[in-house]
Amino acid sequence: MSTAILTGPPAPGSSLDGDLRSLGFDVRTASDADEAGALLATVPAGERVALVDPRFVGHLHALRLTLTDPRFPAAAAPGALTAQSGARPALVRALTAARADGVADGTDDLTGTVADALDADGVAVHRPQLGTLVAAVPTDAEARHRARAAVAAVDDEAVRLRSAVKAHDGFFTTFFISPYSRYIARWCARRGLTPNQVTTASLLTALIAAGCAATGERGGYIAAGVLLLVSFVLDCTDGQLARYALKYSTMGAWLDATFDRAKEYAFYAGLALGAARDGDDVWALALGAMVLMTCRHVVDFSFNEANHDATANTSPTAALSDRLDSLGWTVWARRMIILPIGERWAMIAVLTAVTNPRIVFWALIIGCAFGACYTTAGRVLRSLTRKAKRTDRAAQALADLADSGPLAQYVAALPGGSPRTWAAPLLAAFGAVVLLTQAGGRQVGSLWVVLAAVMYVLASGVAVSQPLKGPLDWLVPPVFRAAEYGTILILAARSEVNGALPAAYGLVAAVAYHHYDTVYRIRGGTGAPPAWLVRVTGGHEGRTLLVTVLAALLADRGDDFTLALTALAVAVALVVLVESIRFWVSSGAPAVHDEGETA
């Protein structure tokens, strides 16, 4: 249990003691700052502790936002301050300094003084945006009366429900899901359900939907479309429940991030299986849709990481974007055309119910291709027109996203590095184009395809031989993804080997999981996966070369190519899943949620 220390006796008629207990705090009352320090010393070091001014007047949700959010080591609002175990030593120092300065009588703002001291001590104190919520420390009866009137004028439960909805979301989610899913989230919270349980329910529902689609029957397709929408409602509900109840967790962040991809990929596979039952082979389209969507996401991730902490950031195109957003309706139009997850799942669900898998996949491919072109073109223009100096952190993040294995690293270490500015994206693109054109234009078993893969390895190594700080160097990771995934797709499709495309689908899904996992580790501030994992899985260039060699050796030997791709997919999946689960369960990585992303 957490402990709240009131720095003096509560005012007559105050509900503060009961409010704190309802939030899960064991409440102790001190007579002054000296006794507050003594009580603080008795609280176990691993527990959260809060200091609360007894004069506090405000909404319960204001206290909840300030004192119970698990994402921040310390947080403060007028009259209230909290610190988790990592910030406890600094809290003790700050309170000791306040007592030495004589901040002890009832007219002093002890919590504010201590919060400022924590900031000065290097502890980042989170101060939540309360909006219309009230958090005040009135110093006289008249001020207390005004504060209580302000509290009565605002329904904090309504504010809590509104704030449970993600601030920036897609049109479909905002207007067709969130108006009622927030109430489902509240229902779940009042029954003690956790966001992770709702996330798991969303995954199971999507898997059942995929199973219905795999039947290949019209009734199954209709059920699949309905269940996919139910799964998406639950997918929105889990995040809203986390925000409503402030139940953020490392495990929840990981599950929410990875289950979205698992649900979508499983549904694609279900559609492909259903089409096969009707005699229509759409595995190539399913894999193409997966490749397009993943590459588009990598563009988003790479661009954001490259400019995460860029300095002197100016761009006329960014200013134009801000002006367009100020018009109102353009915000929704621009969010819809990139086919974010809400619009995408709605389109998939409706088309699955009323058409067939081939039409579903073509609609996906066209929509994803348009969205990818739109977002990539806009980011290229911003990169060419902005004046920004990219940092070492950004360069390291791009290098981690590149997923360069031992072969590329060996080439990069050779003497005579590449010139800067434009070399990296051009070299990466050159290697990718040569490889993809050879894979698509030559016989699958041709030695030229293997030689093209060797050239791709060389170009990839040279591309990352210098820090990725050029204006367009963020394009390097998505180019590598397109080259690897595209090569696997082309060789599996052109081999005409029975089962090669489903095996290739599984391989790309396993590799894509590894790449998404890398993204979420970087966003969590924990760095890339360990170097041994990249070495064991071969890096993008090693896997690509291996697939071309396997195709050259096995494509004309019956099902051997399919078996090789399947074995490679299983091996990659086992290694990356075991390491990923170990990391997210045991590392104590911070909980990072996609509050501002619609993809």
Tokens of 339: 């086919």
Q: What is the sign of the dihedral through the CA atoms of 123, 125, 126 and 129?
A: negative
pLDDT at 225: 98
Look at residues 34, 59, 39 and name the one whose alpha carbon lies nearest to residue 49.
39
pLDDT at 224: 98
pLDDT of residue 318: 57
Tallying the residues shown for the chain, one arrives at 599
> What sections of 76-194 are H helices per DSSP?
88-100, 110-120, 141-152, 156-163, 171-172, 178-190
pLDDT in tens, the chain (599 residues): 799 999 988 888 889 999 999 999 999 999 888 899 999 999 998 899 999 999 999 999 999 999 999 989 999 999 999 999 999 999 999 998 888 776 655 556 889 999 999 999 999 999 999 999 999 999 899 999 999 999 999 999 999 999 999 877 888 999 999 999 999 999 999 999 999 999 999 999 999 999 999 999 999 999 999 999 999 999 999 999 999 999 988 778 788 888 999 999 999 999 999 999 999 999 999 999 999 999 999 999 999 999 876 655 555 655 555 565 556 667 778 778 888 999 999 999 999 999 999 999 999 999 999 999 999 998 998 888 877 778 889 999 999 999 999 999 999 998 865 455 568 999 999 999 999 999 999 998 899 999 999 999 999 999 999 999 999 999 999 999 999 999 999 999 999 999 999 999 999 999 999 999 999 888 877 778 999 999 999 999 999 999 999 999 999 888 999 999 999 999 999 999 999 999 988 866 554 544 444 44
Chain mean position to CA 436: 30
- The DSSP secondary structure of 88-117, one letter per residue, reads HHHHHHHHHHHHHTTTTSTTS-HHHHHHHH
Judge whether 548 and 453 are in contact, CB under 8 Å: yes
Note the pLDDT of residue 295: 95
CA distance 51 to 67: 9
The pLDDT score that the predictor gives to residue 584 is 86
State the pLDDT at residue 599: 45
